[in-house]
Structure 1
Amino acid sequence: MSMGSLDGEQRKATLAAVLERDGIIRLSAAAEELGVSTMTVRRDIVDMEIAGIVRRVRGGAMPALGPKPFQERSARSARAKATIAEKALRLVPNSGAVALDASSTVAALGATLGGRNTIIVATNSWEVFQAVRRTGGPRPLLIGGEPEERTDSFVGPIACEAAASMLYARFFASASAIDVDHGSSDVSLSEAQVKRQFASVAGETILCVDATKLGQQDVARSFDWEAVGVLITELDPADHRLDAYRERVEIL
């Protein structure tokens, strides 16, 4: 069966796979891949939005907003996350403590820390804790609290108090969206609160996001640009998609 002869449900399954692979559905590229018109893909995207799978954006669609389990998030944009982790590793100190948030993007960094045997790595994510632990390198420290089942993280007053109980050389955080005017935002107030507590006792906050998050907004504000030291994406720092952010933050 050719791609152009797929029925609606098969096309939408293929589009969902593209979303998982790339983190975004680009209208023209998806139409070419499926061998159908952009109008057909647009109709499929509308159906997927009604089903709560995607949200429409200019030129295509992105994952629907809202908390998602760690495993679902970690499957998306794997190549971009690996590039971001490689860049972020340069900023990890050889001693002291660092903090990592509960994002799958930062988990990719945690999995590369095997050579940093003299640092402490604090996180409010069981999955990130395990990723660091498996490297056999740093000493991982799990920040407890109330389990947020929708994101597989720990949040709430206890998590906030514990997050702020150490001093970190750097805090590596991601976000579900970043906007040139409003900074970074996340899926819930409770997630954003823990991140702000980590940042309050960190020497510098490093924001790690893939390019699909650029120019987007979610529901809970986390950081203004004044609170962010470096923005890391998988893009070349000279990429035109980062032009709007150059006056706001250092880009790596």
Structure 2
Amino acid sequence: MPEETTAEGDHRRASILTALREGVRRVDDLARACDVSTMTIRRDLQVLEQRNEIRRVRGGAVPVDAWTFDHRLGRSVAAKDMIAAKLMTLVPDKGGIGFDGSTTAHGLARCLKQQTVRDLTAVTTGFETFHELSRTPGCRAYATGGAADPHTGSLVGPLAQVTLQQFALHTCFLSATYLDEAIGSTEFTADEAAVKRALTAVSRRTVLAVDSSKLGHRAVARCLPLDEVDILVTDLEPGDARLEPYRGLVELM
């Protein structure tokens, strides 16, 4: 049997978290949902418990209600690294760019800090992303202000949206809680969805970056339909069968 890659393990554990949020609790049911052995599920639950993303209960597990930025930063690391490398090719040499408060956008900001940029202006709704951008030579960074979303920590609300209206951006880089081919991207909170729509409204180009574990699922708040997304970036190759539902609806990368 071939050795499992880090990306495969990250993807499966993200799938376990999705199943837990959808109400699947027992180890046996999680094993069937992920098409792996119960032993593999128990090992994954141990990893997720060490990250404080789940709580073990008799016969299974339940998700931790709120994730800090650091907890989310530790999820799907290999996939986010692959996505960040793709996103780097979409960053213009100069002009304005926008970032949401996601850990995926944060990964791009970290990569950008290691590159030479000429004259970029960047605005973000994320505290951690702002700190990365503010230390990037050749980049003038702005944080929107606003209230911290209780679930994500991103800056949201009227102040964040008014701040974004002061910019005319070339490209915005967003992620999503989930992505469904029928209704597009969704978020856990309406406030988070609203501020992401505000980012797209002031941008000529919208790039949506999601790891493959988020495909085919829905959260409670609608955000962007796919016809408002210019490029969809994932950790998959564009020809991967898992992207078939999105083919023809959006440019795949």
Would you say same fold, with TM above 0.5?
yes
Alignment partner, residue 36 of structure 2: 29
Aligned partner of residue 36 in structure 2, secondary structure: helix
What per-residue deviation string (whole Å, max 9, x for no partner) do you get for residues 98-122 of structure 1?
A: 0000100111001111322410110
Alignment partner, residue 90 of structure 1: 89
Distance 1:242 1:158, change over 3 A: same
Q: Which aligned segments of 4 or more residues in structure 1 are displaced greater than 4 angstroms?
A: 18-22, 43-46
Alignment partner, residue 75 of structure 1: 74
Asked if 2 retains the 8 angstrom alpha-carbon contact of 1:173 and 1:207, the reply is: yes
Alignment partner, residue 60 of structure 1: none
Q: Which runs of 5+ in 1 are unaligned?
A: 1-17, 37-42, 54-65
TM-score (norm 1): 0.78
- The reply to whether residue 47 of structure 1 matches residue 60 of structure 2 is yes
Alignment of 1:1-252 (within 5 A): 22-25=13-16, 27=31, 28-29=35-36, 31=38, 33=40, 47-48=60-61, 51-53=62-64, 68-114=67-113, 115-252=116-253
What per-residue deviation string (whole Å, max 9, x for no partner) do you get for residues 67-119 of structure 1?
A: 53211111100110011011011111011100000100111001111322410
In 1, the alpha carbon distance for the partners of 2:234 and 2:91 equals 16
Distance 1:45 1:181, change over 3 A: farther
Asked if 1 retains the 8 angstrom alpha-carbon contact of 2:134 and 2:141, the reply is: yes
Q: Which runs of 5+ in 2 are unaligned?
A: 1-8, 17-29, 44-55
What RMSD, in angstroms, separates the aligned Cα atoms of the two structures? 2.4
**Displacement of 1:21:** 8.4
Asked if 2 retains the 8 angstrom alpha-carbon contact of 1:170 and 1:206, the reply is: yes
In 1, the alpha carbon distance for the partners of 2:12 and 2:128 equals 20
**Displacement of 1:223:** 0.2
Q: Percent identity at matched positions?
A: 33
Distance 1:96 1:45, change over 3 A: farther
Code of the aligned partner of 1:199:
T
Asked if 2 retains the 8 angstrom alpha-carbon contact of 1:228 and 1:249, the reply is: yes
In 2, the alpha carbon distance for the partners of 1:47 and 1:70 equals 25
**Displacement of 1:30:** 5.0
Aligned partner of residue 169 in structure 2, secondary structure: coil
Asked if 2 retains the 8 angstrom alpha-carbon contact of 1:113 and 1:137, the reply is: no
Count of residue correspondences = 215
Code of the aligned partner of 1:216:
H
Distance 1:34 1:250, change over 3 A: closer
In 2, the alpha carbon distance for the partners of 1:46 and 1:186 equals 30
My pick for the range that moved more, 130-139 or 94-103, is 130-139
What per-residue deviation string (whole Å, max 9, x for no partner) do you get for residues 208-227 of structure 1?
A: 00000000000111101110
Distance 1:29 1:133, change over 3 A: farther
In 2, the alpha carbon distance for the partners of 1:73 and 1:153 equals 13
In 2, the alpha carbon distance for the partners of 1:20 and 1:234 equals 10
Distance 1:179 1:137, change over 3 A: same
Aligned partner of residue 111 in structure 2, secondary structure: coil
**Displacement of 1:29:** 3.3
**Displacement of 1:126:** 0.5
My pick for the range that moved more, 134-143 or 197-206, is 134-143
Asked if 1 retains the 8 angstrom alpha-carbon contact of 2:126 and 2:153, the reply is: yes
What per-residue deviation string (whole Å, max 9, x for no partner) do you get for residues 46-73 of structure 1?
A: 732xx334xxxxxxxxxxxx65321111
TM-score (norm 2): 0.78
In 2, the alpha carbon distance for the partners of 1:181 and 1:35 equals 34
Asked if 1 retains the 8 angstrom alpha-carbon contact of 2:11 and 2:212, the reply is: no
